[in-house]
Chain A
Amino acid sequence: MSGLIRFLRTQNPTLTQTDWQIWYPKADDDHVPVGKYIIPFQYWLTHRDNHLLLERALAGEIGVWFAATDDVIDHKQLIHAGQKLWPMVAVHFPIFRDGRGYSTAALLRERLAWTGPVWAIGDVLIDQLDQLARVGFDHFVLRADQDHELGLCKFEQFSVRMQDSWRYPRTLNPIHQAEVLTA
């Protein structure tokens, strides 16, 4: 796997390495390769009763990734259960301009109370990092050709924000701030 940016809510962004790999199975792949893998949620859905898979999950070797078309609301229970099983979930961007993943991350954080890591994977470009970080992503697997060092600076371009989001509350002016604090 190429470089990974980790940007937890309470820390600064850092460039790091990981031994996790993302599994994009081909049609004839019938089992998850050996190692730590983030596998398609759809695969989990159909194979979750498989003993071997469950054992590996219990051993902390299996995370899942959601495709842009996966509806996380439809699988609330499974994702709640996954909270204890998967070290992370990931959301896949088939192309950087497919915005569904942003809402998926927001839903995972807000409605499904997912507190663990949420990785952005797929066509992840440095110019979208700030937006991704705000809706709930805290790990970013950049596309291989992206300038990872420059990517690290992409979270600091704005000192103010106009909306509440998972990472930051809306920036308030001092008068407003005082009013909210005394409310």
Chain B
Amino acid sequence: MYRYDEIDQSLVQERSAQFAEQVVRRLKHQISEDEFKPLRLQNGLYLQRHAYMLRVAIPYGMLSSAQLRTLAKIAKYYDRGYGHFTTRQNIQFNWIDLEEAPLILEELAAVQMHAIQTSGNCIRNITSDPFAGVAADEYIDPRPICELLRQWSTLHPEFAFLPRKFKIAVNSAAEDRTVLLCHDVGIELKRGDQDVLLANIYAGGGMGRTPMLAELIKTDMPWQDLPAYLTALLRVYNRHGRRDNIYKARIKILVKALGVDDFAKQVEEEWTHTKITYAPWTDVDWQRVAQHFTKPPYKKLPALFQEQFIQALQPNERVGFMRWFERNVREHQVAGYSSVVLSLKPHRTQAPGDATAEQMNAIAELADRYSFGELRVTHEQNLVLADVESTQLVALWQEAKRLGLALSNIGLLTDIIACPGGDFCSLANAKSIPIAKAIQERFDHLDYLHDVGDVSINISGCINSCGHHHVGNIGILGVDKDGEEWFQVTLGGAQGHEAAIGKVIGRAFLADEIPAVIDRLIKTYVNERYDGERFIQTVWRLGLEPFKQAAYADDAKEKEGVV
């Protein structure tokens, strides 16, 4: 994993000192709230419904056990004992005092972490594949590029006041695990002839109130040109993106307005100039960063087979373990190793993505013992131990079970992605967490969940779509109707290469209707599915109509009653 050099370290320390001075001036009323707002946002500090919220960057999802222990400490001493892992591979603390924020930034800097640009109209945390470097389907390890991008975007002077926030994701595997096409810029890395590293660039994706998928604007660009090309792209956006209307200020609106060809042409033209001014990345840059992402000291181990696991288990544990193995364990590049997803979605008890300080410390311990002291954060709000010896899986499962982190629900109905919603967020129209809990309560039966198979449910408390509801197979969006909380349901969304934006199926529901609606949607799928067909495939094959009819079955009954 990347280790800061003295340059990175100086920067985060100096940044924390800079913010400490600004906070002092704010507290003395020498800076107005209006002027302080972008300063605090670019240091990760939001003003929420009840308190300040601090969003800490976990660049491309990589975390060391020492860093996780510091996050646990922050949760314990500066917050109320827990943190919330988000859909952008960040962690948020919800109960922060402004006066203490600089101290927290100092604590973070001491373990090579920061909250720089986790908010504000600037380049946000760079996200990537949580299985980078270990995924069996990977073309190339994207993390050196992610790290170079993190450095390049950190405190970029020209792009600190963009029209709106700007999100970059990097993918380099056969499967897309980054929601690449829903980013302002998606970078797809691949190997060209003679193994040269090339990038395809997608631009203009995003969710929010006008969801759009990004379009390809550049192919086969040598990786060295990324800083000059991205400078050109961001410059075109900074100059020509709309600033008159916050809802039309994202790059997707500009790309749409100009047309993708014209936008790409403008970037290309600007690039002919930036390429002269901005030095390309060099092999030395690559080496400096890539040396941190070499393979850990893997042992030579034989691959394990299912029967060997089963023999190691008590008979009453076998079904539980095999379910977990099927849903939470992933194939690894190296024989004898596996990647394990720890579920942060225990049924009913805590909000999706939340982890207590005790859990964080315990997970850090697991990372030390089972996975070279490293872990990753997924955009689905779970954690990953990427390098586990397969012989250790049973022991790890047993420990994770004790910690409430071994629910075998990864990719299933209860692995719900949800924003913090109206319980915390001042933007939200509705609460997401109670809906997630109610759904988990209704579908608590693991036999049934496993039979239903892959379904993604994404819940957002407002149109800003932090819960990525547009790309959920089933999306739930909180809407305000005359001061009441309602929930609109979308269907047909998906992430990955088959990314699609879901469609609204009809009138919104009240919170207590939602579990029954989900139940009817799932039953329709179970009744209509072909053998081996996933929920989303059935939806795409049949279209929305049968699902719509099922969802509004009560409406139809009511109507008949009236007649």
Contacts and interface: CB of A to CB of B under 8 A. Distances in A.
A5 to B, nearest CB: 17
Contacts of B285: 176
A157 B14 contact: yes
A37 interface: no
A55 interface: no
Given A102-B157, A103-B235, A162-B156, A173 B288 contact: yes
Contacts of B239: 71, 100, 103-104
A115 B522 CA distance: 67
B540 interface: no
A5 B17 CA distance: 23
Given A157-B14, A162-B151, A102 B161 contact: yes
Given A99-B159, A147-B30, A180-B282, A162 B152 contact: yes
A135 interface: yes
B161 A176 contact: no
B361 interface: no
Interface string B6-24: 1100110011011000100
Interface stretch (B212-220, B271-279, B495-503, B507-515): B271-279
B154 interface: yes
Q: Output the residue of A132, A160, A183 with the most chain B CB within 10 A.
A: A160
A163 B156 contact: yes
A125 B277 CA distance: 28
Contacts of A180: 282, 284
Contacts of B243: 98, 100
Contact of B157 (A96, A165, A171, A179): A165
A127 B35 contact: yes
Interface in A118-176: 125, 127-128, 130-132, 134-135, 147, 157-165, 169-173, 175-176
Nearest to A147: B30
B238 interface: yes
B22 A127 contact: yes
B161 A158 contact: no
B254 interface: no
A106 B282 contact: no
A150 to B, nearest CB: 8
Interface in B32-83: 35, 38-39
A97 interface: yes
A164 B278 contact: yes
Contacts of A173: 5-7, 288
Interface size class of B (residues with CB under 8 A): 35 or more
Interface string B255-279: 0000000000000000001100111
A99 B10 contact: no
Given A127-B22, A160-B10, A173-B7, A103 B238 contact: yes
Given A159-B14, A160-B14, A130 B157 contact: yes
B113 interface: no
B273 A160 contact: no
A111 interface: yes
B284 A175 contact: yes
B160 A127 contact: no
A129 to B, nearest CB: 11
Nearest to A154: B18
Q: Output the residue of A102, A171, A176 with the most chain B CB within 10 A.
A: A102
B448 to A, nearest CB: 51
Contacts of A158: 10-11, 14-15, 18, 155
Interface string B373-413: 00000000000000000000000000000000000000000
Interface in B310-333: none
A35 B6 CA distance: 51
Q: Output the residue of A97, A164, A180 with the most chain B CB within 10 A.
A: A97
B31 interface: yes
B282 A98 contact: no
Nearest to A107: B235
B97 interface: no
B162 interface: yes
A161 B7 CA distance: 8
Interface in A82-124: 96-100, 102-104, 106-107, 110-111
B251 to A, nearest CB: 14
B554 interface: no
Given A71-B239, A102-B158, A160-B14, A127 B30 contact: no
B157 A134 contact: yes
A168 B162 CA distance: 22
Given A106-B158, A164-B277, 4 more contacts: A103-B238, A135-B157, A161-B155, A165-B157
26 contacts: A71-B239, A98-B161, A99-B158, A99-B160, A99-B161, A103-B158, A103-B235, A111-B273, A125-B35, A127-B39, A128-B160, A130-B157, A134-B157, A135-B158, A147-B30, A158-B18, A160-B10, A160-B11, A162-B154, A164-B278, A165-B158, A172-B7, A173-B7, A173-B288, A179-B284, A180-B282
Interface of A: 71, 96-100, 102-104, 106-107, 110-111, 125, 127-128, 130-132, 134-135, 147, 157-165, 169-173, 175-176, 179-180, 183
Nearest 4 pairs between A and B by C-beta?
A99-B161, A134-B157, A131-B157, A179-B284
Interface of B: 5-7, 10-11, 14-15, 17-18, 22, 30-31, 35, 38-39, 121, 151-163, 227, 235, 238-239, 243, 273-274, 277-279, 282, 284-285, 288
